[in-house]
Amino acid sequence: MAARLPLEGIRVVDLTVVWAGPTVTMILGDLGAQVIRVESRYHPPGSTRGILPPPPKEAVPRTGNIARAYVNLDPGQRPWNRHAMFNWHGRNKLSMTLEIDRPRGLEVFRRLVEISDILVENNAAGLIERLGIDYPVVSSWNPRLIMLRMPPFGLSGPYKYFQGFGSTVEAVAGFVWIRHYPDSDPTSATPTFHMDAASGAAGAFAVLAALHYRNRTGRGMLIDLAQAENMTQHIGEIILDYTMNGRVQGSYGNRHPTAAPHGVYRCQGDDRWVAISVFTDEEFAALCQVMGRPELAADPRFSTLQARRANQDELDRIIEAWTLTRTPRQVFEALQAAGVPAGPVMDERDAYEDPHARARGWFQVMTHPECGTHEYPGHLWRQSEVPLRFETPAPCLGEHNEYVYKELLGYSDAEYEELARLGHIGTDYVFQQPTGIR
């Protein structure tokens, strides 16, 4: 008998958008939960199933990487089913269409909540309240329900109704201030959207903890995950230094307060780089040996961490003169063999073709009905007793309407047709006005 995944038998109502929330439900789906995306045809969320309304085919090659991430740069007839972002985090999910704000919409949503275990949402602040489906309401329908809400700034406080996107919330959380180049200002900090991935993983962890609590008590709960607060946890030592010492940290760029050399160095080739991090005198001596400059380890300019930090510019010039004669992988392999932390700076192609990832079989093959067969990034972790799930591709919009409405919710054929007439059921968006990224 095959081992059961940890969340088999758990049902998740997915009201998520963009990246952070869908990452939560992706992880829950990987763990075996049945995830049902509840999607509006009349209010399509920007940056979830691609840029909406979609760009014309001839404009796609001129747009940014995320905006043009359609199969073969072709939006096709239903672009919302062909975009890389959604097709990555949409795996192992079902899709139903429903207009909660239309006649009978709340009735349908209530039926779904009553037979579910978890509700996840990260919509614009205030939307859930306007729809009349906040926690006091849904918990009255189902007292065992766990509801995860992921507003930018939390459900309380003066910012609770403020809007936010990854880059703006990272700025408020203090993350952008420490990431720019030291000789510049925060405008040199490129967006990372670190917050979305971090909040997604934290949200999944919070849901698992709430499920454990429910198993012991029989009661559900509301989880208030403020994404800005979650992000600030990643720079906790910097915040604590201010509270203890009154110091506001500037940006180190690629350098480090307790390591030298520590940076990214040019190598052979066009725009090819390697990262090197040296924390101890022993590692520095090993670096000098590999470079063929063993005398540098005893040079008073570099013999201690303090000396190396005081002379980093000169040391960086010496190291880069050596790295420029080699490829990133040659530097990486030589230094790692000597016990020195180093790694090539990879672009997407390098990461995809990396022999280590290939040897571990990390990329997984998936066939999508409107995108064909491709390799997808794998799971966040591996476990020995039962593999995580990688079974079904991202759903097309409304793909599972009949299953959810009829088999799960018990609507008859006649009722299903009536709900379709009311605008709840379909496989295409109805664009009323441009939405763009929001």
Alpha carbons 51 and 434: distance in angstroms, whole number: 10
Alpha carbons 76 and 74: distance in angstroms, whole number: 5
SS (H, E, C) 184-202: CCHHHCCCCCHHHHHHHHH
Q: 391 and 31 in contact (C-beta within 8 Å)?
A: no
SS3 138: helix
Alpha carbons 294 and 115: distance in angstroms, whole number: 69
Q: 12 and 118 in contact (C-beta within 8 Å)?
A: yes
| The one-letter amino acid at 98 | L
Alpha carbons 334 and 401: distance in angstroms, whole number: 56
Q: DSSP class of residue 83?
A: B
Catalytic pick from 183, 196, 271, 281? Answer: 196
- CB neighbours of 181 closer than 8 A, spacing ≥ 6? 188, 251, 253
Q: 159 and 125 in contact (C-beta within 8 Å)?
A: no
SS3 368: strand
* CB neighbour burial string for 311-328, b if at least 16 within 10 angstroms, e if fewer: beeebbebbbebbeebeb
Cα(first)–Cα(last) distance of the chain, in Å? Answer: 47
Q: How many CA atoms lie within 13 A of 177 on its CB side?
A: 13
Catalytic, 14? Answer no
Of the candidates 209, 85, 223, the residue with the CA atom closest to the CA atom of residue 151: 223
Tell me the catalytic residues.
Answer: 196
